[in-house]
């Protein structure tokens, strides 16, 4: 698959903002089973090799999982403060769990790339359950660096539409990119 035309803008934004740690964070919005919006910050874990798919890692017990099982549609909102660019990516999310038949080696690779402290969170007590346990429950022994636990899930985000806004300039600059039925990307410049 050829790389989408918005990829070069995003790659440049990541490069220009590389001194800012938070430029690797974006907001991922989902729809709850009740139909209400839910939004949270996650870490960008790179693109899947030679594709336009964004990788995110998360806990199987988190609410975004049940949101995505019911509604695979999601939106990423990503603002780069130094270059003053916003990317809003709309698309579908594919869940790679311990039970998934495909992408198990990708899941393992992303697990191995995490820091020890990031891996530890996957064996903490259940997220969002009432905090009744002492700190010992959170300083457990570190899980295997090789084999991901069942709580470790990779989200593959498949963009279908990208709304790009560059604040620099008066008027500002805005472009829409969309994927057509033949899986080709188109682009048009629109009013900001
Ligand atoms: C800077 C930052 C980075 C985060 N990165 C992740 C991440 O990569 N994956 C993740 O599941 N949660 C991450 N979180 C926590 C989420 O924002 C959220 O609190 C958690 O995933 C539970 O969300 P949910 O109940 O809506 O699923 C991060 C939070 C912050 C503030």
List the domains of the chain with CATH numbers. Answer: 6-98+152-190 (2.30.110.10)
Q: How far is the CA of 42 from the centre of ligand 1 (A)?
A: 5
Convert the pLDDT of each residue in 86-143 to its tens digit: 999 999 999 999 999 999 999 999 999 999 999 999 999 999 999 998 888 888 788 9
Ligand 1, from 29, 41, 45, 156: best to mutate by most atoms within 8 Å of Cβ? 41
pTM: 0.97
Task: Please give the helix or strand (H or E) that residue 154 lies within, else none.
Answer: strand 152-166
64 lines ligand 1 (CB under 6 A): yes
Q: Which long-range contacts (CB under 8 A, 24 or more apart) does 73-79 make?
A: 73/30, 73/31, 74/28, 74/29, 74/30, 74/31, 74/157, 75/28, 75/29, 76/26, 76/27, 76/28, 76/29, 76/157, 76/159, 77/26, 77/27, 77/29, 78/26, 78/27, 78/44
The partner residues of 94 in beta bridges, in order of sequence, read: 156
- Ligand 1 centroid, distance to 141 Cα (angstroms): 22
Which atom of ligand 1 is nearest the CA belonging to 62?
27
């Amino acid at each position: 698959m050829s790389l989408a035309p918005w990829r070069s803008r995003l790659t440049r934004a990541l490069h220009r903002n590389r001194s800012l740690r938070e430029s690797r964070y974006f907001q991922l919005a989902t729809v709850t089973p009740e139909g209400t919006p839910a939004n949270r910050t996650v870490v960008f874990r790179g693109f899947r090799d030679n594709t336009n798919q964004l990788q995110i890692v998360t806990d199987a017990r988190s609410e975004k999982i049940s949101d995505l099982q019911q509604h695979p549609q999601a939106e990423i909102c990503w603002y780069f403060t130094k270059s003053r660019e916003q990317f809003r990516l709309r698309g579908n999310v594919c869940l790679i769990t311990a039970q998934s038949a495909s992408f198990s080696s990708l899941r393992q690779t992303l697990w191995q790339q995490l820091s020890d402290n990031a891996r530890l969170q996957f064996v903490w007590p259940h997220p969002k359950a009432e905090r009744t346990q002492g700190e010992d429950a959170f300083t457990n022994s570190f899980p295997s660096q090789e084999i991901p636990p069942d709580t470790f899930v990779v989200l593959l985000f498949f963009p279908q539409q990208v709304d790009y806004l560059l604040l620099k300039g008066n008027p500002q600059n805005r472009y829409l990119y969309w994927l057509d039925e033949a899986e080709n990307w188109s682009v048009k410049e629109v009013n900001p």
